């Protein structure tokens, strides 16, 4: 019988990006890059003020405390700046699956290799350390940019959940689901490493990513 997965706060990093456990200390940095309305266009909730960002962090940490999510702050290693956030979410330990989602990155970093490397690190940790048999993604059916990006990662489109969410504007959202399963991971990993090799600053380390359990709070 397959053992349930164990997944918790951890730091994942390589050449260009560091994903570190989200805390309230990231609030100021997230506000500096994350209060633009366009960043939240496709997400069911909006974050447009410092108070809303604080609530966003608090909710993520509450989900973590309940074992439902593992949220990260995304750090540009070249500058040390906080540039966004992402997380493991909808964690199903018994069924050995997680979703990678709630991802956003400041506009200045959106056309860089940062997001690709971050997804690579999260996928590698999920499949090779945690032991997941499936990693999921979902996005708004109208978000063509996100849909294309998920396919470029190597995920397979599975179908559409109709009338899946109510957006902050009141629009009814249909969500498109994607997945990568463990048998596909070696091929997906090879393609991602090829993509990252084209960006020397973000090429994966030959020694693998640095995975460090989060330090307990003092």
Q: Looking at the whole model, is its pTM more than 0.75? A: yes
Q: How far, in Å, CA of 111 to CA of 55, rounded?
A: 28
Helix, strand, coil percentages (3-state) for the chain, rounded to 5, are 35, 30, 30
Question: How far is C-alpha 121 from the geometric centre of its chain's CA atoms?
Answer: 10
Report the greatest alpha carbon distance in the chain: 48
Q: Which residue has the tokens 């956030």?
A: 85
**Residue-level pLDDT at 62:** 98
Torsion, Cα of 211, 200, 194, 111 (10° steps): 90
Note down pLDDT in tens along the chain; length 218 residues: 899 999 999 999 999 999 999 999 999 999 999 999 999 999 999 999 999 999 999 999 999 999 999 999 999 999 999 999 999 999 999 999 999 999 999 999 998 899 999 999 999 999 999 999 999 999 999 999 999 999 999 999 999 999 999 999 999 999 999 999 999 999 999 999 999 998 765 545 544 445 565 543 32
DSSP state of 5: P
- Given the DSSP bridges, would you call strands 81-92 and 97-105 parallel, antiparallel or unpaired? antiparallel
Q: What is the pLDDT of residue 153?
A: 95
**Cα distance between residue 127 and residue 129, in whole Å:** 6
Residue 34 neighbours by CB distance under 10 Å: 23
| DSSP letter for each residue of 133-190 | SEEEEEEETT-HHHHHHHHHHTPEEEEEEEEEEE-TTSPEEEEEEEEEEGGGHHHHHH
């Amino acid at each position: 019988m397959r053992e349930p997965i164990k997944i918790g706060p951890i730091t994942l990093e390589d050449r260009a990006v560091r994903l570190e456990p989200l805390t309230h200390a990231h609030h100021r940095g997230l506000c500096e890059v994350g209060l633009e309305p366009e960043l939240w266009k496709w997400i069911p909730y909006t974050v447009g003020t410092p108070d809303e960002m604080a609530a966003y962090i608090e909710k993520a940490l509450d989900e973590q405390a309940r074992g439902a999510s593992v949220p990260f702050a995304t750090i540009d290693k070249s500058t040390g700046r906080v540039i966004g956030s992402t997380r493991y979410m909808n964690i199903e330990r018994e069924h050995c699956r997680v979703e990678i989602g709630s991802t956003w990155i400041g506009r200045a970093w959106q056309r860089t290799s940062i997001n690709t490397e971050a997804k690579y690190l999260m996928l590698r940790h999920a499949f090779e350390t945690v032991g997941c048999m499936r990693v999921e993604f979902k996005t708004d059916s109208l978000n063509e940019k996100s849909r294309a990006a998920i396919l470029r990662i190597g995920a397979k489109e599975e179908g559409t959940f109709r009338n899946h969410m109510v957006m902050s504007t009141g629009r009814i959202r249909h969500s498109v689901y994607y997945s990568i399963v463990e048998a596909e991971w070696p091929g997906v990993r090879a393609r991602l490493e090829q993509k990252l090799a084209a960006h020397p600053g973000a090429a994966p380390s030959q020694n693998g990513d640095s995975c460090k359990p989060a330090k307990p709070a003092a």
